[in-house]
Amino acid sequence: MATSCKSTSIRKAQVPVSCYFCKVQDIKWKCEDCNIRMCNSCKITVHQGLQCSQDHEVVSIQDISGSRPGSQEVTSVVISLVVNSFTTTLPVVHSLLCSDDDLLYFTYNGQTSDNRQLVKGKLLKSSIKILQTLKRSIFENAINKDGEILFIEHHDHKIQVLSYTGEVKTVLDSSPITLLGIHVNKDNEVIVGLREPGPPFPVHDFSV
């Protein structure tokens, strides 16, 4: 069970549009493919350096149809405060993932193995309905399009997957390479961070 508290304040304002990369406000360019605005420096040093952006269409802010010369502001709704809190029986929530279907995935790593767990829940109006739990010490997890939970345990070299039925199986063993993180993109591709065994610094050739 969980109690919910909401407070929302919404106002309309002229919002300065800042550079997507460095967060400064002197934007000069917009990438039509990425749909991001950037300053002149980040266009050259960051965006042009990305291999995936070599064929992207980048246009001047001044050339965008309907924009006013020199304007760096847009009218939008500013949400100045949103609070919706839920109290669980876990002492601490160490990580939290949300999906579009109001599903939550959160972990708690206590000092004893009995308290370490991954929890899958359904977000309701005033509570969280627990759908699935797994007693593991997890430091990284991701969700694929099938709703399966991919996770990495602390001090482990395996990526494992938890199915709807509660079955856990290994999908990748990276030994002796150390796992740094895991991510599932919009195309359901799994992206994994890896590095050679040993101390993290200095950086070796194989650290991606």
pLDDT score recorded for residue 4: 55
Tokens 């100045």 identify what position?
Answer: 80
pLDDT reported for residue 101: 85
- DSSP letters of 56-111? --EEEGGGSTTPPTT--EEEEEEEEEEEEEE--SSS---EEEE-TTSEEEEEE--S
The total of other beta-carbon atoms located within 10 Å of residue 2's CB is: 16
Per-residue pLDDT of the chain (208 residues; tens, 9 = 90+): 444 555 544 454 455 678 888 887 678 888 888 888 888 888 888 888 887 777 888 888 887 645 444 444 444 445 445 556 777 777 788 888 888 788 989 888 777 766 788 989 998 877 888 899 898 889 899 999 888 999 999 889 999 999 888 899 999 999 998 898 999 999 999 999 988 877 767 766 655 5
Instruction: Tokens 């010490």: give the residue.
Output: 137
pLDDT of residue 199: 75
Structure tokens at 8: 């929302």
3-state secondary structure of 191: strand
Compute the radius of gyration of the chain from its Cα atoms.
Answer: 22
